[in-house]
Structure 1
Amino acid sequence: MTTLRFFAGSYTSPLPHAPKAEGKGIYSLNLDLDRGLLTAPHLAAEVAQPSFLASHPHLPVLYAISELDEGQVSAYGIEPDGSLQLLNQQSTQGASPAHVSVDAAGRYVLCTNYVSGLSVLAFPVSGDGSLEPCAASDTHHGHGPNAQRQEGPHPHSVTPSPDGRHAYVADLGTDEVVGYDLDPDRLLKRIGRANLPPGSGPRHTAFDPAGLFAFVTLELLPGVAILRREPESGELALMDICLVQLPDFSGTNAPAEVMASPDGHFVYVSNRGHDSVAVFRFDPASVRLTLLQYAPTLGHTPRGCVLTPDGSLLLAGNQDSSSITVFRRQHDSGLLQVMGTFDCPTPTSFCFG
């Protein structure tokens, strides 16, 4: 039996966009890769509102933002038994941080504040994985046409490119993806931006393995944007918009997470409202996505989703029904098959460690 440890963030207090909050912090679970089974969640660290997680690429260290009025990002050492030991914390210098990530080399932890304050921050990583004080930051300005959701900037995520040279902030409030340099001498200097359709609300970004294409969920449209990336300059160019069309669904749908398969041939998008994972085939020659499947998550509000490193399984966290659905992924067809649904308090984000 091959098992893989992973961690789940949660909401610990109700918010307008998260009225159900049954979590107490960060949970540790073990995943049976062969059978698609999960162990019961174990509380690894008690912390407020750890709504997004990321792990260091080389060290046994996990990073978590706390979605609070005075946001913070925490570094935890991962113990052999799956428990987490706090290394240190840093302020995000803003309200309601929404995302945390780590560059491919493990040099910087990157964060965004969704509501106010600094839009994007870079924290150097010490030798033990702890966080040094913020070394660079930037602030977005502007708004979009949706008066209720886009009255100002809302940086929702910051995603490093696979080569670790650049990072990209998807701003739901300004309908743009802003590129940044990760070179230590030009840390968080802007390298350009891609403008997306007005009112589309870009949320999260995923890259193909080569870093030549970016896929961005459009929460308000709803849909997925495909952008071409120039590796040397880091500039992005909008190539196509693929709408998430649900002819048999009359409710409100909001795409959340986006993932690319390890071979880059398939793209997966979680749908909150329709409560499904959309499966697309990606053709780099035509730069088009073709819908293959809507796989029901058997729960409500699939917010955080993740593929296992080998791409054999996909996990969907049903935030409002406190469950995780495990899918087997067919490597050749990209299609998903449900293996089981397991209890987990208000899951919001996953990472392996």
Structure 2
Amino acid sequence: MLIMATNASAQSYELLVGTYTQGTSKGIYRYRFDSTRGEISAKPEQLVVVANPSWLTLSADQRHLYAVNENGPGQADTVGKVTSFSINPQTHVIDQLNEVETQGDEPTHASLSKDGSLLFVANYAVHPEPGGSAVAMGVAPDGSLLPVVQQERHPASHVDAERQAGSHVHSVVSAPNGRYVYVSDLGADKVFIYRLDAGNKQWPLGPATPSVVELPPGSGPRHLVFDAKTKYAYLTLEMTAQVAKFDYRSGGLDLGKITDLDRQGGPKGAAGALHLSADGRFLYVSNRGAVNELVVFAVNPETGDLREIQRRSVDGDHPREFGIDPSGQFVLIANQKSNAIVVVQRDVKTGLLGMTVQTFAIDSPSDVKFLTQ
């Protein structure tokens, strides 16, 4: 199905939405987002039918898109995969290039190397055997994917007998300088650091020095982000509902303050996605579970330390991911279990979140990305 947009204005952007497809959703949806009114168009401009595209990765020039297919045992497709697409720079029409197996179950995250020649994928793997893994695969000049060239597995911590019986890699992120790759393993309570040799197409990742960042037992590291100046990094600890701050030094991460997302004596949450504002002044963190809110922090520009300034309900259930629109005036929250994207006003100067301007119905949204080129 393809419906072309008309009268697109300078204040609107293309919005890509990844979904889980066990219900009524069919794959990746392309909408128009009006950043003047904060509204998603009523009908999609394009639907790309693909299984469980739960995480979307755009190339730097936005000419190519990579979607992990979060497949695994018990699903219609039992094989974890990544699908590559081309994006027409004039029309933004998305066309599939190819599909590659990830050599693991339930891939949940992917990122590109700085030069775009490698795609790193996190195989979460719900079942502890054989458990999760991080893999690297090549990217061809036309944007299509090459087979996996390297797979890395890690021992689990077993602190939580159920959730940490095996490795569960939740994200694989490159440092902004492109020299290091960080693998956050929820099942191991560690972030593993690799030195990247992009020229080595057979075995591009080697252990860095140091090669491991130890996190508190049972904390469950999930997603990692760096600030624009590569001075600090922030990591969500899913199982303890916390966010950790690091000082970045020559590839290493020195653990600083760990901040609780849950209120003392309140319901237990589960830390999820986190994003910095474009100016780096504010950090937004989702807390799921029984809490279902975004926690807003002001970032100290001198130390990178966090100061909580707001807690805001997501007006839904299980905020899997969220994104700040290119104008900075709205936050779009993908509430997976309540089947909606909630659009919330944002004050660019204060970082505070305001009223809900739209609740957009869509089954099992999992990720949102904007096209700005």
TM-score between the two structures when normalised by the length of structure 2: 0.87
Per-residue deviation at 1:117?
6.0
Instruction: Give runs of aligned pairs for residues 248-327 of structure 1, distance below 5 A.
Output: 249-250=266-267, 252-273=268-289, 274-327=291-344
8 Å CA contact 2:245–2:257 kept in 1: the answer is yes
Per-residue deviation at 1:247?
4.9
Instruction: Give runs of aligned pairs for residues 1-353 of structure 1, distance below 5 A.
Output: 1=9, 2-13=11-22, 21-42=23-44, 44-69=47-72, 70-79=79-88, 80-115=90-125, 116=130, 119-185=133-199, 187-191=204-208, 192-230=211-249, 233-247=250-264, 249-250=266-267, 252-273=268-289, 274-337=291-354, 338-353=356-371
8 Å CA contact 1:98–1:113 kept in 2: the answer is yes
Matches of 1:59 and 1:258 in 2, distance apart?
22
Matches of 1:77 and 1:344 in 2, distance apart?
24
Matches of 2:332 and 2:184 in 1, distance apart?
23
- SS at structure 2 position matched to 1:295: strand
Matches of 1:141 and 1:120 in 2, distance apart?
13
Give the superposed CA RMSD: 1.9
Per-residue deviation at 1:7?
0.9
Structure 2 residue aligned with 1:16: none
Q: Structure 1's 144 and 284: CA in aligned 2 closer, same or farther, altered over 3 A?
A: farther
- SS at structure 2 position matched to 1:325: strand
- Identity rate of aligned residues, in percent? 36
- SS at structure 1 position matched to 2:188: coil
8 Å CA contact 2:286–2:294 kept in 1: the answer is yes
Matches of 1:167 and 1:3 in 2, distance apart?
34
Matches of 1:138 and 1:309 in 2, distance apart?
35
8 Å CA contact 1:239–1:287 kept in 2: the answer is no
8 Å CA contact 2:38–2:357 kept in 1: the answer is yes
Per-residue deviation at 1:93?
0.5
Matches of 2:141 and 2:330 in 1, distance apart?
32
Matches of 1:200 and 1:41 in 2, distance apart?
41
Per-residue deviation at 1:184?
1.6
Q: Structure 1's 87 and 211: CA in aligned 2 closer, same or farther, altered over 3 A?
A: same
Structure 2 residue aligned with 1:18: none
- SS at structure 2 position matched to 1:48: coil
- SS at structure 2 position matched to 1:350: strand
Per-residue deviation at 1:259?
0.5
| Higher Rg of the two aligned structures | 2
- SS at structure 1 position matched to 2:258: strand
- Counterpart of 1:244, as a letter, is L
Matches of 2:199 and 2:142 in 1, distance apart?
23
- Counterpart of 1:94, as a letter, is G
Q: Structure 1's 152 and 280: CA in aligned 2 closer, same or farther, altered over 3 A?
A: same
Q: Which deviates more from structure 2 when the two are superposed, residues 87-96 or residues 124-133? A: 124-133
Unaligned runs of 5+ in 2: 1-8, 73-78
Structure 1 residue aligned with 2:76: none
